[in-house]
């Protein structure tokens, strides 16, 4: 199993993006340090992109799902077995910011992560277009998430992954509506990261650049949900950014 996993990552590295290959990632400077002998706990939160069809029981064969959260955790678990790392995936398919807020105590605060990674927003877009609520109301709910987390977990490092789209064959009007809302949403996430001293992880620009290598459906099959290569892209971006903050990674 370990050799197969190693082979998988070796093959994927051949698809590498400049500056996003794992050897470069693992050589970066890091700042977050462990505060005790226990290893870091890293929690992934979000919707179906994070969920990855994960199990809800103790079946460790599927507990991290089959998306970017799995790729990140398997890589770091493999490379750092002595660091006593713990990963949790609490993404739930279909979730919106309000849904995260409703379950935040049990699925985030109570887990007391050292690192919290959030990727949320795409399920809110259609509701905003339908005028069920506004972008400003969406932003206010996101602020409540961050305020609660900062208040109750002041030592937790928070990573805000921006939601993204990579649309190929949608009707022109629908595509335009979704992209207009998403651009504002991405701007809001960047501002929230700045206001709450979070690590911002840009994704849209990397997915846009990926079109130079292959068509949209190679990366994101329906405009929203990543293909395997799209999940790998997210994983590389995430680790590349995290490597500047996670103290257990060697320089």
CA 199, 238, 72, 21 torsion-angle sign: negative
Output the pTM of the full model.
Answer: 0.86
pLDDT at res. 247: 75
Among 13-22, 87-96, 145-154, the minimum mean pLDDT is found in: 13-22
Comparison of pLDDT for 163 and 11, the residue scoring more: 163
SS3 content of the chain, % helix, strand, coil (to 5): 50, 10, 40
% of the chain with per-residue pLDDT over 90 = 80
Instruction: Please list the residues that pair with 158 across neighbouring strands.
Output: 116
| Domains annotated on the chain, with CATH | 40-242 (3.40.50.1110)
Q: What is the pLDDT of residues 168-194, one digit of tens each?
A: 999 999 999 999 999 999 999 999 999
Per-residue pLDDT at 36 exceeds 70: no
State which H helix or E strand residue 42 sits in. Answer: strand 41-46
Residue 84 has, within 13 A of its CA and on its CB side, a CA count of: 7
The Cβ-side half-sphere exposure at 65, using a 13 Å CA radius, reads 26
Instruction: Give the pLDDT confidence score for residue 241 in this predicted structure.
Output: 94
């Amino acid at each position: 199993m370990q050799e197969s996993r190693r082979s998988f990552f070796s093959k994927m590295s051949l698809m590498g993006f400049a500056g996003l290959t794992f050897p470069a990632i693992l050589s970066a400077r890091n700042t977050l340090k462990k505060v005790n002998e226990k290893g870091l706990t890293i929690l992934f939160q979000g919707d179906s992109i994070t969920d990855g069809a994960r199990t809800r029981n103790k079946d460790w064969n599927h507990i991290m799902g089959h998306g970017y959260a799995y790729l990140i955790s398997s890589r770091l678990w493999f490379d750092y077995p002595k660091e006593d790392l713990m990963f949790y995936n609490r993404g739930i398919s279909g979730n919106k910011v309000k849904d995260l807020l409703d379950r935040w105590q049990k699925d985030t605060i109570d887990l007391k992560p050292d690192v919290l990674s959030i990727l949320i927003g795409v399920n809110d877009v259609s509701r905003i277009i339908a005028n069920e609520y506004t972008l400003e109301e969406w932003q206010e709910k996101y602020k409540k998430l961050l305020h609660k987390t900062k208040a109750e977990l002041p030592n937790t490092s928070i990573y805000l992954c921006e939601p993204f789209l990579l649309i190929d064959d949608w009707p022109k009007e629908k595509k335009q509506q979704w992209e207009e809302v998403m651009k504002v949403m991405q701007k809001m996430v960047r501002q929230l990261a700045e206001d709450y001293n979070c690590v911002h992880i840009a994704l849209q620009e990397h997915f846009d650049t990926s079109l130079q290598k292959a068509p949209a459906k190679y990366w994101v099959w329906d405009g929203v949900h990543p293909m395997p290569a799209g999940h790998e892209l997210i994983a590389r971006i995430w680790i590349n950014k995290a490597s500047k903050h996670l103290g257990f990674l060697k320089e």
